[in-house]
């Protein structure tokens, strides 16, 4: 493990500890579906408030992603809007919500290294990092390492998710809404 990734982990843990001390809400989010071809409600996710204070989810979700263009890897942003009116997050009760994209990008279905930003009305912004469309979450240090390796060193990404399509389907079924 590199020194930078250890420092990033330490800083992340310190912010979480500070939020715990202050009693600020902390969200845990799992992406269940992200269908870029579905115009209404293409993003489905499960969100849970893991603190004792009640909060609600901001209706805007920012997604940054990278896609291989003619001039190398290009970075884009896309906004999703939460469709559900009841965005209140009670402590320790998961809730499944859906969101729709403001504009459908032609490149989104080819995207890699997605970062979803979920903001509670009070509390710490939660980031969910995904390597590709298989929707397997990865840690911030691994995300940074793989992206650096692809961008700078032009080396292939390590196989970290499913080894085969059937393995990926098994993982997807296990992820389900619970």
State which H helix or E strand residue 21 sits in: helix 3-22
State which H helix or E strand residue 20 sits in: helix 3-22
Q: For the residues 80-92, what does the mean pLDDT come to?
A: 93
At 58 the pLDDT is 94
Most confident of 32-41, 85-94, 151-160: 85-94
For residue 100, what are the CA distances in angstroms to 71, 84, 156? 29, 10, 32
| pLDDT band, very low/low/confident/very high, at 11 (cuts 50, 70, 90) | confident
For residue 96, what are the CA distances in angstroms to 47, 93, 143? 6, 10, 25
At 147 the pLDDT is 84
* pTM: predicted TM-score of the whole model, two decimal places: 0.77
- CA proximity to 121, closest of 87, 73, 80: 87
Residue carrying structure tokens 């079924």: 173
Residue 176 CA, chain-centre distance (Å), reads: 16
Total Cβ atoms within 10 A of residue 170? 12
At 128 the pLDDT is 94
**Does residue 127 sit in helix, strand or coil?**
strand
Rg of the chain (C-alpha set)? 17
C-alpha–C-alpha distance, residues 28 and 23, integer Å:
15
Q: For the residues 121-137, what does the mean pLDDT come to?
A: 85
Q: For the residues 8-17, what does the mean pLDDT come to?
A: 78
């Amino acid at each position: 493990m590199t020194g930078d990734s250890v420092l990033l982990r330490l800083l992340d843990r310190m912010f979480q500890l500070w939020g715990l001390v202050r009693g600020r809400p902390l969200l845990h989010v799992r992406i269940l579906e992200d269908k870029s071809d579905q115009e209404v409600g293409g993003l489905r996710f499960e969100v849970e408030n893991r603190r004792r204070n009640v909060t609600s989810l901001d209706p805007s979700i920012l997604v940054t992603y990278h896609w291989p263009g003619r001039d190398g890897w290009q970075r884009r942003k896309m906004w999703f809007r939460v469709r559900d009116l009841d965005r209140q997050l009670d402590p320790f009760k998961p809730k499944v919500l859906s969101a729709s994209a403001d504009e459908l990008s032609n490149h989104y279905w080819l995207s890699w290294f997605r970062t979803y930003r979920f903001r509670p009305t009070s509390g710490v912004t939660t980031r969910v990092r995904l390597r590709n469309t298989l929707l397997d979450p990865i840690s911030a240090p691994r995300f940074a390492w793989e992206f650096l390796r692809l961008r700078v060193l032009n080396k292939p990404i390590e196989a970290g998710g499913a080894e085969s399509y059937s393995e990926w389907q098994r993982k997807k079924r296990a992820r389900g809404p619970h």
